[in-house]
């Protein structure tokens, strides 16, 4: 009897040792995974990401696994433009979206439910007008009376309107055609329009395809495009750690981009479906960074006024744009990048 009791006690003790050993092993394995950037997560994240040069930081972070190593499992959903990306996010088809400040301004003006996490790109050279010399266009004034393509409600639309105003181009005799970005490209190549107002990589592609038949009309002093990462408010509310992981991944992508420019270029070329050499040309004059600053708020307010003055949006008032800025995320991972005027409590929305 005593022998049987002794055996049972030893068995129980060994069982305890095995359980403890197993738990220790799992803990060590988990630590090892963390050390190698393999943080398990059950939260899939969909980002509506246009095939633009402006999307570069998100593209690089995704393709290099930088989001995953910070605890976010991200899928990119490609779209032609930031305008469509934002529309699809607002429709619930994505958790986050990349978009320029022009469609963003319209969404804010019309009560869209969104929060701005950060701007990730700025450029006064991204948006331009590509025109055909064989249609007699050499200078801005030559656009008068021609057929010009654009995509309504985008940065290309805002730039075109401002460009025509600054250069006193008569709108009465000029024809404007609203087309999606890829159709704009084809329309200019096929000669269905005389010029288009668009952005990279389409600008670089058209200049290369048309060669000496093309002329680039650009004005770096009248407009600076800002590309933003925005999210649905309920996603931020339910997944603050994932928001932090995404912002941290973007900062890692920024470092990777500066240290491995050729590889970064190739990743962006593959996603945007443009030759790497054209992406290299398009990178010129582009400022990639992760920040939230006062200039973005002023740009959005200005473009809200433009939508109202043009009649594109009616019977709305410009809301408090700061209330659409989600400051806690960037304040936690890179506080010096938040440069907006806010109250003592941090201006949290």
Is the pLDDT at 306 greater than 60? The verdict is: yes
Structural domain spans, the chain: 44-124+225-339, 127-217
Please report the pLDDT score of residue 334 as a whole number: 97
Tokens in use for 119? 């701007």
Nearest partner of 48 among 6, 80, 70, 7, judged by Cα: 80
User: What is d(CA 306, CA 312) in angstroms, rounded to the nearest whole number?
Assistant: 9
- Contact assessment for residue 106 and residue 213, using Cβ atoms and an 8 Å cutoff: no
Superfamily of domain 127-217: Periplasmic binding protein-like II (3.40.190.10)
pTM: 0.85
Nearest partner of 100 among 257, 255, 223, 284, judged by Cα: 223
For 44-124+225-339, CATH gives 3.40.190.10
Is the pLDDT at 135 greater than 90? The verdict is: yes
Count of CB atoms situated within 10 Å of the CB of 26: 10
Please state, rounded to an integer, the average pLDDT across all residues of the chain. Answer: 88
Please report the pLDDT score of residue 12 as a whole number: 41
Domain 44-124+225-339 identical in fold to domain 127-217: yes
Is the pLDDT at 26 greater than 70? The verdict is: no
Please, which pLDDT band fits residue 46 given cuts at 50, 70 and 90?
A: very high
Write the pLDDT tens digit of every residue in 161-192: 999 999 999 888 899 999 999 999 999 999 99
Please report the pLDDT score of residue 42 as a whole number: 61
Please, which pLDDT band fits residue 2 given cuts at 50, 70 and 90?
A: very low
User: What percent of the chain stands above pLDDT 90?
Assistant: 79
Please report the pLDDT score of residue 71 as a whole number: 83
Number of H helices, E strands in the chain: 14, 12
Mean pLDDT along residues 252-273:
95
Give the ranges where the chain is alpha helix by DSSP (H). 2-35, 56-63, 66-69, 82-90, 101-109, 155-166, 181-189, 202-210, 233-238, 240-259, 261-272, 276-283, 294-310, 327-333
Is the pLDDT at 246 greater than 70? The verdict is: yes
């Amino acid at each position: 009897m005593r022998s049987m009791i002794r055996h049972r006690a030893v068995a129980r003790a060994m069982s305890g040792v095995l359980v403890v050993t197993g738990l220790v092993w799992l803990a060590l394995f988990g630590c090892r995974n963390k050390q190698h950037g393999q943080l398990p997560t059950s939260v899939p994240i969909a980002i509506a990401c246009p095939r633009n040069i402006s999307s570069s930081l998100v593209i690089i972070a995704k393709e290099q696994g930088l989001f995953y190593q910070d605890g976010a499992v991200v899928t990119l959903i490609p779209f032609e433009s930031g305008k469509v990306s934002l529309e699809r996010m607002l429709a619930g088809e994505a958790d986050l979206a990349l978009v320029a400040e022009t469609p963003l301004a319209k969404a804010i003006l019309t009560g869209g439910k969104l929060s701005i996490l950060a701007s990730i790109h700025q450029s006064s050279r991204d948006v331009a007008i590509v025109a055909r010399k064989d249609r007699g266009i050499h200078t801005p004034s030559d656009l008068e009376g021609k057929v010009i393509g654009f995509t309504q409600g985008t940065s290309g639309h805002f730039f075109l309107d401002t460009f025509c105003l600054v250069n006193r181009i008569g709108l009465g005799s000029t024809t404007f055609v609203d087309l999606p970005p890829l159709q704009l490209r084809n329309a200019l190549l096929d000669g269905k329009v005389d010029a288009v107002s668009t952005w990279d990589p389409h600008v670089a592609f058209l200049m290369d395809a048309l060669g000496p038949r093309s002329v680039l009309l650009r004005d770096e002093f009248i407009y600076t495009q800002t590309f933003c990462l925005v999210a649905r408010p309920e996603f931020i509310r339910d997944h603050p750690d994932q928001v932090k992981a995404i912002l941290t991944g973007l900062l890692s992508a920024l470092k990777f981009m500066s240290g491995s420019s050729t590889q970064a270029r190739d990743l962006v070329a593959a996603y945007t479906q443009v030759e790497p050499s054209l992406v290299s040309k398009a990178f010129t004059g582009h400022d990639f960074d992760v920040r939230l600053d006062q200039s973005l708020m002023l740009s959005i307010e200005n473009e809200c006024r433009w939508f109202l003055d043009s009649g594109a949006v009616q019977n709305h008032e410009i809301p408090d744009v700061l209330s659409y800025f989600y400051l806690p995320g960037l304040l936690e991972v890179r506080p010096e990048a938040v440069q907006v005027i806010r109250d003592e409590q941090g201006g949290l929305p």
